[in-house]
Amino acid sequence: MTTAYIFPGQGSQFSGMGRELYANNPEAKKLFEQANEILGFRITDIMFEGSAEELRQTNVTQPAIFLHSVILAKTIENFAPDAVAGHSLGEFSALTAIGVLSFEDGLRLVAARANAMQKACEAVESTMAAVLGLPDEQVDQICEGIKNESAEIVVAANYNCPGQLVISGSMKGIALATDALKQAGAKRVLPLPVGGAFHSPLMMPAREELGEAIEKTVFKAAPCPIYQNVDAKAHTEAEAIKANLIAQLTSPVRWTQSVQNMAQAEIAKFVECGPGKVLQGLVKKIDRKLETEGLA
């Protein structure tokens, strides 16, 4: 069976993540300790024993999910996916798992990404909201209308699955969109507990900062296709992967389209590699015929 490994993004973290892996696998322990040295603090202490609040800090959340996902992949015997994809942050995990990025470079880029995003969040008050029960095209049209009428930023950020789309933008933009989407028949519009407008134009300062770090980093050609968030298409060439990774911070995550394209490429099984089961649920909502499995 043709199999894709998929890697989760921010929001999948939990206290205790990676603890059994550290305790039971010497290779995993070695990589976790290497990560502590690279980051300059013992992220393992927070992953294994930290509170939910500590794990929500961006400079902890992103490296923690990356480490859990990548180290898990590196300890799988005969890890040889036919394709990979990652949701937002998970794209870095996917690229490191298949060797496009070294473990050290992947972790350094994720730490740089987290810090750049945190600074962008602090510069402008902004937020995100999940929209349930409307077609993607209708949400897009409503956001575009608000942007044109009010000049406020509000855009589609995550196409997660049919009927579930996350919007991102300024506080006023999200408030205006919430009212308009409810009037249009959305079942719910739920504010998300995030510190900023990820995957929106408000992340441009973070994109520029991360872009500089990415350009200085060695990327190898991918040994299997990676379906990237920006265009939902398969890529293997290093320069194209880098360009898409830089664009990702201000572009929507096209997860629905990525899974649909993988299914069209006859990928029948999706293995979620990392904390949580969010992506397995989304895959099933996109196409019930697809088989899913989780590794955590």
Q: Looking at 97-106, 114-123, 173-182, which range is the least confident one?
A: 114-123
CATH of 3-122+201-295, picked from 2.60.40.3080, 3.40.366.10, 3.40.50.2300, 1.10.10.60, is 3.40.366.10
The confidence band for 145, taking pLDDT boundaries of 50, 70 and 90, is very high
Residue 107 has pLDDT above 80, yes or no: yes
Please report the pLDDT score of residue 80 as a whole number. Answer: 93
Could you give the residue numbers annotated as active site? 88, 199
What residue spans in the chain does CATH classification 3.40.366.10 cover?
3-122+201-295
Could you identify the residue written with the tokens 């201000």? 250
pTM of the model: 0.96
Please report the pLDDT score of residue 46 as a whole number. Answer: 96
pLDDT in tens, 2-58: 999 999 998 889 999 999 999 999 999 999 999 999 999 999 999 999 998 898 888
What residue spans in the chain does CATH classification 3.30.70.250 cover?
125-191
Q: Are strands 3-7 and 83-86 parallel, antiparallel or unpaired?
A: parallel
* Identity of residue 72: L
**CATH architecture designation of domain 125-191:** 2-Layer Sandwich (3.30)
DSSP the chain: --EEEEE--TT---TTTTHHHHHH-HHHHHHHHHHHHHHTS-HHHHHHH--HHHHTSHHHHHHHHHHHHHHHHHTSTT---SEEEESTTHHHHHHHHTTSS-HHHHHHHHHHHHHHHHHHHHHS-EEEEEEESS-HHHHHHHHHHHHHHH---EEEEEEEETTEEEEEEEHHHHHHHHHHHHHTT-SEEEE---SS-TTSGGGHHHHHHHHHHHHTS--PPPSS-EE-TTT--EE--HHHHHHHHHHGGGS-EEHHHHHHHHHHTT--EEEEESSSSHHHHHHHHH-TTSEEEEE-
Residue 126 has pLDDT above 80, yes or no: yes
